[in-house]
Amino acid sequence: MTSSVLRCVVLIPCLLVPEGFFRTVEAFTLTAHGSFAASGGEPAGFWEGEFSVEQSFFRGRVWFPGVQELPAELEVIGSFGNGTINFGSATGGSEQLTFSGSWNRADLVAGAFTYGSMTGAWTGRWGSIRPGRPADSVVEEYAEALPIFSGTSPRPAVDPGSSAYACHLLEDRRVMALISGGGEAELRRRCARIDGSAKRESGGSRIVYLLDSVWALFSTAYAQLMTNRANNPAPDPYPIITQNEVSVAASGLNANLVVVGYNDTSHSQTGTSRVGYSTSPNAGVSWNDRGPLPAGTGNGICCDPVLGSDLSGVFYFASLGNLSAVPRILVSRSFDGGLNFQVPPVNASPAFVGEPDKPEMAIDRSLSSLYSGNIYVCWSDFSDGNGGIRFSRSTNGGASYLQVAGSLSAGLFSMQGCAIAVSTDGVVYLSWWDGGTEGGYPANTIRFRRSINGGVSFQPEIALGSAIPPPSGGCCNRPHLNGNVRNRPFANLAADPLIPGNVYLTWNTYTSGSSEVFFRRSTGYGIDGTWSLPVRLNDVTTGDQFMPRVASGILYEADPDTSIVRVTWYDRRDDPLNAQLHLYADASTDGGATWRTDSRITTVASPIPAICPTNFDCDLPECYFGDYNAVASRNPIASDFILGWGDTRDTDSGGSDCAGGTSSADPNVYTAVGC
């Protein structure tokens, strides 16, 4: 049977519930998802949908990856009644698919299906509440009555390393609400769901801002801050021209040697790496675009770059990629100041089987630490039943990695955006965002653990506060800010280089109609009860503030006994339409107890290019504008910081793009260095 989309409509009596259960609910929907398993135990397919409480109907899809005799996709419209769900039947050629079953508040249970000669059972779970017009209290009341996605995922035991499993993740709304933009783009490429062809035509033009400068960030006592573009956009084939998701590191041996890494879609046209990097011999005054990060024969590098350097000046470059087509977290090494990175990259996820996403990395650079030189890597795991936050460490200069068994998060699915920092005496800090309700905490929580034995084991998990994503809906159908910019409230960590027990946390959260940046500090090695109350860092509440990063360094020249904490973020306060972006920053010289006035880094605003319903860059998914920027101290031998961010001040054109336009804002990487 050829691949097709089938439709059916079934009318069933309305849902009956106990009196008062929904009270004054006007409207909201419940998402649900599950799988089919044939009588012989083989997984047959998957289903997902939404149940409208107001209108008592089900709308969803059924699909069967890797089963050629079944339709590739079946769209079903049905209704559900008292204690039963009837998804109806649909004709597919000479066969029919029928399935029905029962439900309760805690789960979807006891279902059966038939398709021709195939029979079996289906299972599923509630996913999330998506409100229509009810009061928040009503939604919260219903959430307490109906546990939402607790425990393991209901999807069948498909081989996590298989292409069918990877492609199925694209159909899982939970994954799509969590996965990084680079990770989604990689899945779409592997499953042939993205058009990655360049479409530049003759006569195209490019406008770029070569250099601008702004004065000292926090005080006239500090040097001028220079803003430079780090990548060379000239060879980019329009419209495959995006560079974003920036990471930056200065050499631990020579602070003037700086490497910046970034996603780079232009390299998808010429090889197996979609990550680029640039080097600077003079602390960011000038940059040399080194092209794609090499993957080696038979391997690939996708996205999500993270950079670091040890005290001997070796650079480490973590990314999401594959070794011989098997998804892995990779770490490349450079022994020549970042000019060249060795191949093949080292596998930092040796015991992992599944779909990894969004790595982070930290290096112990303290001579006083028992674990000096250790390299720590974390990432998200979308494997069924074994997901969560994963962690590995290297004790031999990145030659190999040891993976901690199991997940470091109590929850096993809705975990994303991990961050790592290391204190001067070797304590490892780990945080992440939990978008689910597993582990006993409310949904949308920043969670935290620490290790006092060099990452061998971690102390119990604690919750550090609420981190609310922006609303979903529209053409993104996932959490997004104005302009269809997808956003999740990922946290970031830093450890104080002078005060061993101080650890700093920053994140953005959606409140009162906009996103704001918050900060907490612990003065007791992250132990529960030693954390300050959350402090809002943005001085104004107009516009969105999001995607914060934090770093800490020492004011060597000005005051070698004083450390400084710096936080940067995207900010829309200067645009009354809450659309264009600037990069802002703030700083503290008393360990995060007090903060100075916010300062704007950029002098040219960044507009949002056309990214929804289709991204202008044919190599990227809709609504993707990047998930993070960068700020890093040039310590231990320099006082200042280097900042890196995705910037769209430049423009490019050259024929039609994938959003139907002929010119666009050009996403490039810009950097700044200052105290």
When pLDDT is averaged across residues 352-370 and rounded to a whole number, the result is: 91
Rounded CA-CA distance 359/339 in Å is 23
Encoded tokens for 197: 């062809």
Neighbours of 671 (CB within 10 A): 26
DSSP for 599-622, written as a single string: EE--SS-B-----SSS-SSTTS-T
Task: Tell me the CB-side half-sphere exposure of residue 518, using CA atoms within 13 A.
Answer: 21
Buried b (16+ CB within 10 A) or exposed e, 62-95: bbbbbbeebbbbbbbbbbbeeebbbbbbbebeeb
Q: Of 283-287, 429-433, 654-658, where does the model show the most confidence? A: 429-433
- What digits encode the pLDDT tens for the residues 83-97? 445 555 444 444 555
Q: Which of 116-125, 148-157, 180-189, 437-446 has the lowest mean pLDDT?
A: 148-157
Q: Which of 31-40, 56-65, 144-153 has the lowest mean pLDDT?
A: 144-153
Encoded tokens for 217: 């960030």
Backbone angle region of 176, left / alpha / beta, with phi > 0 → left and psi within -120 to 50 → alpha: alpha
β pairing state of 356-363 and 275-280: unpaired
Contacts of 7 (CB under 8 A, 6+ apart): 75, 76, 77, 90
Q: In the chain, pLDDT over 90 holds for what percent of residues?
A: 51
- The rounded Cα 321 to chain-centroid distance in angstroms is 15
pLDDT band, residue 579 (cuts 50/70/90): very high
When pLDDT is averaged across residues 13-21 and rounded to a whole number, the result is: 29
Burial (Cβ within 10 Å: 0-12, 13-18, ≥19) of residue 207: exposed
Per the CB < 8 A criterion, the answer to whether 232 and 243 are in contact is no
When pLDDT is averaged across residues 14-36 and rounded to a whole number, the result is: 41
Q: Which residue has the higher pLDDT, 11 or 493?
A: 493
**Entry pTM:** 0.75
pLDDT of the residue at 612:
92
Q: Rounded mean pLDDT of the chain?
A: 77
**Phi then psi for 674, rounded to 5 degrees?**
-175, 175
- In 3D space, the residue among 377, 386, 453, 390 whose CA is nearest the CA of residue 416 turns out to be 390
Please give the helix or strand (H or E) that residue 358 lies within, else none: strand 356-363
Beta bridge partner(s), residue 322: 300, 327
pLDDT of the residue at 569:
97
- What digits encode the pLDDT tens for the residues 155-180? 333 444 555 556 666 666 667 667 77
- In 3D space, the residue among 355, 185, 341 whose CA is nearest the CA of residue 263 turns out to be 185
Task: Say whether pLDDT at 141 is over 80.
Answer: no
Contacts of 422 (CB under 8 A, 6+ apart): 362, 363, 364, 365, 366, 369, 374, 376, 428, 429, 495
**C-alpha Rg value of the chain to the nearest Å:** 25
- The rounded Cα 100 to chain-centroid distance in angstroms is 36
Rounded CA-CA distance 640/317 in Å is 22
Q: Which residue has the higher pLDDT, 181 or 242?
A: 242
Task: Say whether pLDDT at 329 is over 60.
Answer: yes
Contacts of 185 (CB under 8 A, 6+ apart): 194, 274, 302, 303, 619, 620, 621, 624
Domains observed in the chain: 5-157 (no CATH), 206-674 (2.120.10.10)
Task: Say whether pLDDT at 589 is over 60.
Answer: yes
The single residue listed with the structure tokens 């494997």 is: 383
pLDDT of the residue at 130:
39
Per the CB < 8 A criterion, the answer to whether 355 and 383 are in contact is yes
Rounded CA-CA distance 595/584 in Å is 14
- What digits encode the pLDDT tens for the residues 529-560? 999 999 999 999 999 999 999 999 987 666 77
